[in-house]
Amino acid sequence: MIVEIFSCGPLHTNAFLIGCKDTGMAAVVDPAYQSFDPIMAKVEELSLTLEKVLLTHSHWDHIADVYDFKEKFGLPVYIHPLDIPNLEKPGVDGVPMFFPIKGVKPDVLLKEGQIIEVGQLSIEVIHTPGHSPGSVCFYVPKHGILLSGDTLFEGSIGNLSLSTSDPDSMWPSLEKLAKLPPETLVFPGHGNPTKIGKEAWLSKAKKKIWRNNMNLVGNKAPSFKAKAVCKDVIQEDFSLESLKGKYVVFFFYPLDFTFVCPTELHAFQEKLSEFEKRNAQVVGCSIDSHFSHHMWLNTPKNKGGIEGVSYPIVSDLSKSISTSYGVLKDDEGIAYRGLFLIDRDQVIRHQLINDLPLGRSVDEALRILDALIFHEKNGEVCPANWKKGSKSMKPSQEGLKDYFTNV
């Protein structure tokens, strides 16, 4: 099988010429910007006959030269129906284009499992929505080759923050690719080739990628209902909703009966009245059971316990809360030291995640809470190292100037 790669255009998009060695029949895959001339030079050099144009998806950088192939040679264009609109009218998908390009009408509509022949090559269509709804990969099982478009890259995946993207459909798509033989050689739409077996993270991409990129600031705090222990009382269905109208300092710690954790829990207890004065509820959480929390709460400080702690400690035995807050450490099944400041409308306004050996500063948690309260009351913003009582700033050029001349 012939596979020639042409990295073209401002985004270094990979266009491909694939062909059957026995018959000399060939297809263009993703004719990127200015790929026409080099592809045609190679077609001539190898004495190939072009049959068709296959598109992994319709983002402008993958279809920029499709017009030339279709108009000059009348080659039929193959695409999944869900990606037609941007092929016909480039730019309508809302993905910013660097320059105008010409659209074409498709000729053959692709679907999952369809087999496309190029000479004696049999190419299987794998529908892999996520980066765009009509994204497909082209798989040639006989030669162990996959053209993955912008679904899978070496060590990474296609952009999920575009107007066409849908993370929820990306994960099943990647799981499909993870099931291909490990020796499958992958040619992505950008960057270097790789192998399925080299991308060991693929089968758990959702956990690895989604969670590692999780920023919850500005989002509604994930709600939960779970068992919690407050002093000596076990609450069966403690919920975040029940704290609406209060600020919540919600912190995760790795495990009961360990070493850094009790110092943190006592440190929050020592300043609890400061939080209460500010209408803030401190809530701790770990993946331990409520029995373990209860036992730990009844163990004195000098024996490593947290006796005297009076704020609620949530039991996240199912690990669903630490998962939804993006703090679960997969390999150990415990939570990182995550801290979330949740406002009175239950929107997360601050998050901090420390690795296991790094204890947090309760003073810093209080300082951030003060900054939020100050901002909500006065509308002014809090510059670097701001502390309650120190100078704030109007959020404007003038305000900044005034700040710098007066500090």
Q: Using CB under 5 A, pick the residue from 68, 150, 199, 316 that binds Fe ion.
A: 150
**Least distance to Fe ion, CB of residue 61, Å:** 7
- Contact range with Fe ion by CB under 5 A, out of 46-54, 143-151, 169-177, 334-342: 143-151
**Which C-beta is closer to Fe ion: that of 65 or that of 150?**
150
The residue count for binding Fe ion (CB under 5 A) is 2
AA letter at 394? K
60 vs 31, 96, 150, CA distance in Å?
10, 9, 12
Q: Measured from the CB atom, is 148 or 392 closer to Fe ion?
A: 148
Q: Give residues 240-269 in contact with Fe ion (rule: CB under 5 A).
A: none
Q: How many CB atoms lie within 10 A of CB 170?
A: 23
- Ordered DSSP codes for 243-256: GTTSEEEEEE-S-T
- Cβ–Cβ under 8 Å, residues 13 and 31: no
Q: How far is the CB of 174 from Fe ion (least distance, A)?
A: 15
Residue (93 or 288) nearer to Fe ion, CB = 93
Per CB under 5 A, the segment of 53-61, 169-177, 240-248, 383-391 that binds Fe ion is 53-61
Piece in contact with Fe ion (CB under 5 A), picked from 58-66, 207-215, 221-229, 391-399: 58-66
Residue whose pair of structure tokens reads 């701001």 in the numeric block: 386
Catalytic residue, chosen from 8, 20, 137, 261, is: 261
Name 252's bridge partners: 285
Backbone angles phi, psi at 223, to 5 degrees: -80, 160
What distance in Å separates the CA atoms of residue 43 and residue 15, rounded to the nearest whole number?
13
Question: Closest distance between Fe ion and the C-beta of residue 56, in Å?
Answer: 8
Nearer Cβ to Fe ion, position 53 or 328?
53
Q: How many CB atoms lie within 10 A of CB 237?
A: 10
Stated as kind and residue range, the H or E segment containing 270 is helix 260-270
Shortest distance, position 89 Cβ to Fe ion, whole Å: 17
DSSP SS3 for 134: coil
The minimum distance between CB 164 and Fe ion, in angstroms, equals: 8
Closer CB to Fe ion, 4 or 150, in the complex = 150
- Half-sphere exposure of 132 toward its Cβ, with a 13 Å CA cutoff? 27
Q: Binding segment for Fe ion among 51-59, 269-277, 348-356, 368-376 (CB under 5 A)?
A: 51-59
Contact 172, 182 (CB under 8 A): no
Taking the complex as a whole, the smallest distance from the CB of residue 131 to Fe ion amounts, in Å, to 6
Residues 221 and 241: beta-carbon distance below 8 Å: no
The single residue listed with the structure tokens 């790789």 is: 194
The two tokens of residue 317 are 């035995």
Tokens 């109208």 -> residue: 245
Nearer to Fe ion, 64 or 221 (CB): 64
Kindly indicate which of the ranges 55-63, 246-254, 324-332, 398-406 contains the residues binding Fe ion, using the contact rule CB under 5 A.
Answer: 55-63
Least separation in angstroms between residue 176's CB and Fe ion is 18
Is residue 59 within the footprint of Fe ion (CB under 5 A)? yes
Query: Is the Cβ of residue 91 or residue 197 nearer to Fe ion in the bound state?
Result: 91
- Is 20 annotated in the active site? no
DSSP H stretches of helix in 282-406: 290-297, 320-324, 362-378, 397-406
Which residue is closest to Fe ion by CB? 59
- Per DSSP, the three-state class of 258 is coil
Strand spans (E) along 158-263: 185-188, 194-195, 225-230, 233-239, 247-252
The catalytic residues are 261
Binding site for Fe ion (CB under 5 A): 59, 150
